[in-house]
């Protein structure tokens, strides 16, 4: 009994060391995800002829519970354990991404999942946070020893991940990973001219994707010409956002969401705007803004290069993914199947987001010697 009491006391002490602001933001986002899933579930179930109206809401609640377990388990790891665990995950899920492109079931022209009947696994969602931690490890070693080829290793890993994702094809996740690695390379001390060169290569890559991927060309053309049939979903999302007004139609009272095929996933922001109004939409944006500010400000004061880069990269992943989702719903970017972290329906998305934030809670928790004594806000090298 004494050993049990000591373990419980140690766990409670560790819980008190987690950043309360980040914990609060995570709890609010998960709660809103369940709420918005309840709003969109009846429409989604009716479309695919499931009798249980709140089927997706029930599943999302179960995913949220699993996500909390994953987040707390990841937060319980020490930085060295995070490196090892992330390396194992990357080594496992990178080949799985390639395998999904080969044998995964085809859904809307893409092969990104493994279907286990009761659960569909999207390996890329787990790969993203794992890969960012491995990049941080490699780049951190380069910051300590410039002769270490950490940047080259990171770029090679990005190339392998992009090749696997493009084979599915999943253009958005490939771009998201590149969007996260760029700032990490800059923070690790890479010269600006190399980053500008990378931007030029990214522009060339965008042209190649537009040229050789017909579905991307259709979406970009629809974005540039929103009057066509290809822009139907985005136009309906804009109608839903406009119909919500300031205070929304009320929970369950949304009408336009009935014509949104992916209302519970890719367009959940539009559903929230229609039923809960502009105030709820701005609240979501502010939540992710607070996540970015709190996470990056604390990451900038960490002592160790690996911890700095990993925390900053993981926060960038979550916030960038949210920004892309919201921008698509507002027709500021071409349509892309990007989930809203903790909010959109999906077990893989929930687990990946929870894993990323759990790693951050561990890296950013209060512990002796973890933070700089000065609040200068700059990254230490």
Residues 128-184: tens digit of each pLDDT? 999 999 999 999 999 999 899 999 999 999 999 999 999 998 899 999 999 999 999
DSSP 122: -
Closest Cα partner for 316 from 298, 337, 295?
295
Residue 107 DSSP symbol: B
Q: How far apart are CA 342 and CA 63, in angstroms?
A: 10
Say if residue 46's pLDDT is above 80.
no
Residues pairing with 302 in the sheet? 371
Q: How far is CA 239 from the centre of its chain?
A: 26
Cα separation, 170 vs 157, in Å, equals 16
Measure the CA angle with vertex 136, ends 96 and 193; round to 5°. Answer: 110
Lowest mean pLDDT among 15-19, 126-130, 281-285, 293-297: 15-19
Q: Which two tokens stand for residue 189?
A: 């001390």
Query: How is residue 69 written in tokens?
Result: 């377990």
Q: CA-based angle 300:305:310, to the nearest 5?
A: 75
More reliable by pLDDT, 5 or 321:
321
d(C-alpha 212, C-alpha 323), whole Å: 26
Would you say residue 376 has pLDDT above 50?
no
Mean of per-residue pLDDT scores for the chain: 86
Strands (E), the chain: 114-115, 120-121
Listed residue (232, 203, 204, 197) closest to 218, CA to CA:
232
Model confidence over 218-268: pLDDT tens digits?
888 878 877 766 677 788 888 888 888 888 887 777 777 677 777 777 888
Can you give the pLDDT at residue 183?
A: 92
Peptide bond into 246 cis (omega under 30): no
- Cα–Cα distance list, 109 to 74, 173, 199, 339 (Å): 34, 16, 29, 18
Tell me what pLDDT residue 191 has: 82
Closest CA to 135 of 174, 98, 87: 87
Of residues 16 and 88, more confidence is placed in: 88
Worst-scoring range by mean pLDDT, 28-37, 129-138, 312-321?
A: 28-37
| pLDDT tier, 377 (very low <50, low <70, confident <90, very high otherwise) | very low
Please, where are the H alpha helices in 145-249? Answer: 150-166, 171-187, 192-212, 214-224, 232-244
CB 272 within 8 A of CB 241: no
């Amino acid at each position: 009994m004494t050993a049990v009491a000591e373990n419980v006391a140690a766990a409670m002490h560790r819980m008190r060391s987690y950043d309360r602001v980040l914990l609060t933001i995570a709890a609010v986002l998960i709660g809103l995800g369940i709420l918005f899933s309840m709003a969109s579930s009846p429409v989604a179930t009716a479309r695919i002829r499931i009798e249980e109206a709140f089927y997706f809401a029930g599943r999302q609640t179960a995913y949220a519970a699993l996500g909390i377990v994953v987040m707390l388990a990841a937060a319980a790891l020490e930085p060295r354990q995070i490196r090892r665990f992330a390396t194992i995950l990357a080594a496992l899920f990178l080949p799985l991404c390639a395998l999904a492109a080969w044998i995964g079931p085809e859904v809307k022209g893409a092969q990104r999942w493994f279907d286990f009947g009761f659960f569909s696994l999207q390996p890329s969602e787990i790969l993203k946070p794992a890969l960012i931690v491995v990049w941080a490890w490699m780049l951190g070693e380069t910051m300590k020893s410039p002769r270490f080829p950490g940047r080259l290793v990171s770029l090679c890993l990005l190339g392998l991940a992009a090749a696997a994702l493009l084979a599915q094809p999943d253009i958005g996740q490939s771009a998201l990973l590149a969007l996260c690695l760029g700032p990490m390379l800059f923070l690790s001390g890479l010269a600006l001219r190399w980053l500008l060169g990378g931007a030029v290569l990214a522009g060339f890559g965008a042209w190649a994707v537009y040229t050789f991927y017909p579905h991307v060309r259709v979406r970009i053309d629809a974005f540039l010409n929103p009057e066509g049939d290809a822009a139907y979903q985005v136009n309906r999302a804009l109608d839903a956002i406009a119909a919500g007004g300031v205070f929304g139609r009320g929970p369950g009272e949304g009408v336009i969401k009935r014509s949104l095929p992916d209302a519970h996933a890719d367009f959940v922001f539009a559903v929230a705007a229609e039923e809960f109004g502009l105030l709820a939409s701005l609240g979501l944006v502010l939540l992710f803004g607070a996540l970015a500010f709190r996470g990056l400000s604390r990451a900038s004061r960490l002592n160790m290069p690996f911890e700095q880069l990993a925390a900053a990269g993981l926060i960038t992943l979550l916030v960038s993914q949210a920004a892309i989702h919201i921008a698509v719903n507002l027709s500021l970017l071409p349509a892309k199947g990007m989930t809203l972290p903790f909010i959109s329906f999906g077990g893989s998305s929930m687990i990946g987001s929870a894993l990323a934030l759990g790693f951050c809670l561990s890296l950013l928790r209060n512990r002796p010697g973890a933070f700089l004594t000065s609040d200068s806000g700059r990254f230490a090298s």
